[in-house]
Chains A and B, each alone.
Chain A
């Protein structure tokens, strides 16, 4: 279900008063990109040569690069650079390419609120700045839900981290955590956390997932378990964290039997369960996908506000860094077209999903627009389906049907060739993407 809804609260923050914020200087780039992660930096690199004015990237961290900065293990750059390098190395190349292309990367620059439809208030150590741009690209990424958002009860113990927090501690601050960890989740990012823990001498004693099978690539499931000496407990939920002041154990429940037991550990890593950093999008009144909570975009990454685009994992929380970066490559010509005065038609076919798919991106395909980035629709599934048969239905008619030879697996984006939409009626009703039910389950 991805029917477009307007943001629940269009009014700006009721208590903060932007009138108090007197900017000390004003920047007027052609394009401002909010967020210097893979998608934002790649967009900057590809846009800078295409537009006459400046391309400005606003990055709130001290160093641009996004999450790869602190994911110090190989696996980055596969689809966008044809490499297999570490996250920090990958982040450095993205930074260098954006700068070499002429984009300006401003770090320690936090966008705090909107000053107008394409105008932003920014706090930096050099002052309070207003950025009046002709086009805005929101590339704010996503974060993992922390413990409160997951409503995990128990003691307020020290030693509970998200993967992002863990990797900041280990790879950027070179500090240690405990010795025995339980990882909640068994997605790709969960194995990234396991690698970080291994690096710092903390053994992963258990990985838990509520799904019936591990959610990451097959590659990890046998070799990964052996290498990290880790057991994956499927259909298992963490029901409490115990220990004061430090973690001593987690209580886990077998979802099929209801049995509970405790597992001794001194570290808990909460992985995955991504939520887009959608604050700016929402504050602007951009329509969000009610399921992913990310901005709704069409196949050109246009949001519901003219001149405001959104790319990367804030739109599809979360796909791998290379896919996010390729959004950045794809959005460049659409932003340039906008700057040159091109405006999209009001028409378009809405793309929806049906269970077990939670959301699809893009949500709108307009007549005359190009295919989505990489000719792929991105979906999120709540159930594992091996080699699913995917259907596209419009106005009661099947307009596309395709078996894909890769699984739809919870915990990572499921990609479907956008060719499945080739025969849809561009003037017709919404298209629903579904999985045919006869497919076997693992």
Chain B
């Protein structure tokens, strides 16, 4: 993959290899939120990413739920961050157009042990400051979720739990950061750290990067990076979570997030609608040693199919349109590890599990406070902040370009559907290559537009999508000459 680091046009930051006030390592949701926050001050900020795109780790492959934090461990930093992040991200989503659907969730109890656990979970929710749960009987569970399997004994409603587009969240935060002047440096794997008296030099796969301050938001690699700073505070086990995504035709089966009741035997498997109009089943939980192994397994798929047959038997009659595996950064620390070392001018945002999707913006605020309290970095507000970006909508609950008659009339490229299953238009593909964070791979294009994410997986559009990647959307931009036959609608009318 060619590495073309996206640099900002803001001109506030130096060229790669030069000096930054703050270097944030890791362009997942947490790192992007931190870079966005800090570039709101009169600071030069770099955002370093080991891979060729933002959000390539846990941030791209999780259950994509905007959590209320009802089930966090009360009193922890995680509980606070999720609670605050829920509100911050919810508001930010409205401003930037990140797709969110306020579906609500129901924890469904399938045995007496789980049923007995519900009041305790409600207490816990209250301790976490979430007071809208309700314990309901089996009849109410089936009234809300008529297609789930037989044997539900009761449930706990969590009306605030929502589904969100994790990809757009990451792109919005990173785009915002870049527009505020952050220099995004892709394909930079940090291999060594040299902490000096005034600055820290990071040895990366793309040359040295120097910063006064360094923020570690390296997710799955966070513990290793922390050790480069000579700490040994937490250890990450990559926990593989496999998921099955079902065809959109399954969507009417599941209208809310169906959560398992956590017991001593584990957290269990959920069934959830997605903002793209699919239904998701998973995740598994399997501890690995390889931090890059996002392959799927026979055992995982068999487990999910069996589980799905109990949870929602009709779901298994539908086609599976995607299978994927994400690695969660399971930490041996019971809580997030967020700390600042004033001597090394080093901030750690570590041990942030998949709840980081919700918590990311709150973590950024929290770190802002920690750094401010050191008094070592001057945080001066800027009066020239650009407006937050407006993200292209890839959620089904909102108007998409192919449905938008006015938009098609203004630009025919939005009427030229390239990916039939997901109804992605040539106009959207063209736009994404002109965006501040253009894709460099089919995977990157898929996460930005949904192209080729549908039920045919490229049977119809795969070759066209690859060509548009090569041409960087160019052919799509022109929409081509309109075939003579296409004007025939008027004739037919006559």
Contact = CB atoms under 8 A, between A and B. Distances in A.
Interface of A: 8-9, 11, 13-16, 20-29, 54, 56, 60-62, 99, 104-110, 112, 123-129, 143-149, 151, 153-156, 161-162, 164-165, 168-169, 172-173, 175, 239-240, 244, 275, 279, 282
Contacts, number: 191
A288 to B, nearest CB: 11
**What 7 A-B pairs come out closest when comparing CB atoms?**
A146-B457, A168-B463, A125-B412, A128-B405, A164-B459, A165-B462, A125-B415
A124 to B, nearest CB: 5
Interface of B: 101, 244-245, 248-249, 251-253, 255, 277, 292, 294-298, 300-301, 305, 314, 317, 319-324, 396-397, 399, 402-406, 408-409, 412-413, 415-417, 420, 423, 425, 455-460, 462-464, 466-467, 479-480, 482-483, 485-493
A127 B408 contact: yes
A21 B486 CA distance: 20
Contacts of B403: 16, 20-21, 112, 123, 128
B320 A9 contact: no
22 contacts: A8-B317, A13-B252, A14-B255, A15-B277, A23-B405, A24-B408, A26-B493, A27-B493, A54-B492, A104-B488, A106-B485, A108-B486, A123-B403, A124-B415, A124-B489, A126-B489, A143-B456, A151-B301, A151-B305, A156-B294, A173-B464, A173-B467
Contacts of B423: 110, 112, 123
A34 B150 CA distance: 40
A29 B491 CA distance: 10
Contacts of B462: 161, 165, 168-169
A94 to B, nearest CB: 14
Given A9-B252, A105-B485, A125-B415, 15 more contacts: A9-B249, A15-B277, A24-B405, A25-B489, A106-B488, A108-B417, A112-B423, A124-B489, A148-B320, A149-B319, A156-B324, A164-B456, A164-B459, A164-B460, A173-B463
Given A27-B493, A28-B493, A153 B300 contact: yes
B482 A125 contact: yes
B298 A153 contact: yes
Contacts of A62: 480, 483
A129 B420 contact: no
A114 to B, nearest CB: 14
Nearest to B299: A153
A104 B485 contact: yes
B474 to A, nearest CB: 15
Contact of A126 (B399, B458, B482): B482
B463 A175 contact: yes
Given A13-B251, A60-B420, A147 B457 contact: yes
A276 to B, nearest CB: 11
B152 to A, nearest CB: 20
A417 B253 CA distance: 40
A173 B277 CA distance: 31
Nearest to A70: B463
